[in-house]
Structure 1
Amino acid sequence: MQQHPFIIDAFVLLPDHLHCIWRLPQGDCNFSTRWRLIKSYFSRQCITLSQENLSTSRQNKKERGIWQRRFWEHLIRDEVDFKNHLEYIHYNPVKHGLVKAPQDWEYSSFHRSVRQGMYDITWGAGQEIVFDSDIGKE
């Protein structure tokens, strides 16, 4: 990853997908290599996955069944767009019914954002947050 640096502004890791906001070096838009490196590293760490549950295609390609093969990218347009996507990411475990509040999901940058003063720890608890239809669909 040293050859392909980036900064993670936000992330959430869910059982079947993840969302991130990254900052890449100026002039560098190589998302594909970074996703490949992240997915391959993470997959190698998941030794509990059984090969017998994978399709023949995935076995032949030495792929594990964790990740979608594609990714969707979205260029953050401005501060409002950043805030909307940040909130979407942190509320995602609640949206999917995994927890009652973002603070209850440990696989997220939410707690870091709370420490940085961006959120109160109770943000998103006991309320439904609705996002514009284009947020999170990229």
Structure 2
Amino acid sequence: MQWADVFTRREYSEIVCDSLAYCQQEKNLTLYAWCIMTNHMHLICSSPTLPDIIRDFKKYTSKKLIKSIQTNLQESRKGWLLWLFKYAGEASAKNEDYKFWQTGYHPVLLHNNMLMEQKLNYLHNNPVTAGFVEEPEHWHYSSAKDYSGNVGRLSITFIE
């Protein structure tokens, strides 16, 4: 499956943020760090029911994002994006109409402080490494702003 730069549009990133906030409030998701890049996202999070939350999050956001792409009059890539997600859906084992997210998720157990710090730095520096911003806290869709002492887009639980 190809990666598409969907999250270059704020409205699509906002759908993801709103859904994460809902999972925090209603599904017992603890969010420690996050970053939405143009074509993927990273989370450091926990929950007793994490696989279920991720499944529900992906199912909901997939439908909402596809609908948003379909109805967005300013979306110049509409035909290509919908073709790409339709092609991925047809190729999937579930034979879905559209497949937005990759199958599964890639949990990594952060079992010590060194590993936690390494992943936190990687996640927050992703936009810097990609050349989008000079400082991690300048990326709007990231918890780096929170870790720099300001208030970011989503509430987080700090890693200490």
Measured against the shorter chain, the TM-score band is: 0.5 to 0.7
Maintained 8 Å contact 1:17/1:68: no
List gaps (5 residues or longer) in structure 1.
117-138
TM-superposed deviation, 1:57? 4.8
- Equivalent-residue separation in structure 2 for 1:92 and 1:75 (angstroms): 20
Select 1:85's aligned residue among 114, 119, 124.
Answer: 119
Task: Mark the CA change 1:53 to 1:9 in structure 2 (over 3 Å): closer, same or farther.
Answer: same
What is residue 61 of structure 1 aligned with on the other side?
96
More helix by share: 2
Q: How does 1:1-138 map onto structure 2 within 5 Å?
A: 1=23, 4-24=27-47, 28=48, 30-46=49-65, 47-49=68-70, 50=78, 51-58=82-89, 60-65=95-100, 67-115=101-149
Counterpart residue identity of residue 97, structure 2: K
Maintained 8 Å contact 2:127/2:133: yes
- Equivalent-residue separation in structure 1 for 2:103 and 2:97 (angstroms): 13
Q: TM-score, normalised by structure 1?
A: 0.66
List gaps (5 residues or longer) in structure 2.
1-22, 71-77, 151-160
- Equivalent-residue separation in structure 2 for 1:84 and 1:63 (angstroms): 35
TM-superposed deviation, 1:52? 3.5
What is residue 120 of structure 1 aligned with on the other side?
none
Counterpart residue identity of residue 102, structure 1: P
Maintained 8 Å contact 1:11/1:109: yes
RMSD: 2.4
Q: What count of residue pairs does the alignment treat as equivalent?
A: 111
- Equivalent-residue separation in structure 2 for 1:107 and 1:58 (angstroms): 27
What is residue 130 of structure 1 aligned with on the other side?
none
Q: Structure 1 stretch 83-92 or stretch 50-59: which is displaced more?
A: 50-59
Counterpart residue identity of residue 86, structure 2: S
Maintained 8 Å contact 2:88/2:99: no
TM-superposed deviation, 1:41? 2.8
Task: Mark the CA change 1:23 to 1:53 in structure 2 (over 3 Å): closer, same or farther.
Answer: closer
Identical-pair percentage: 23
- Equivalent-residue separation in structure 1 for 2:64 and 2:28 (angstroms): 21
Task: Mark the CA change 1:57 to 1:106 in structure 2 (over 3 Å): closer, same or farther.
Answer: closer
Task: Mark the CA change 1:95 to 1:70 in structure 2 (over 3 Å): closer, same or farther.
Answer: farther
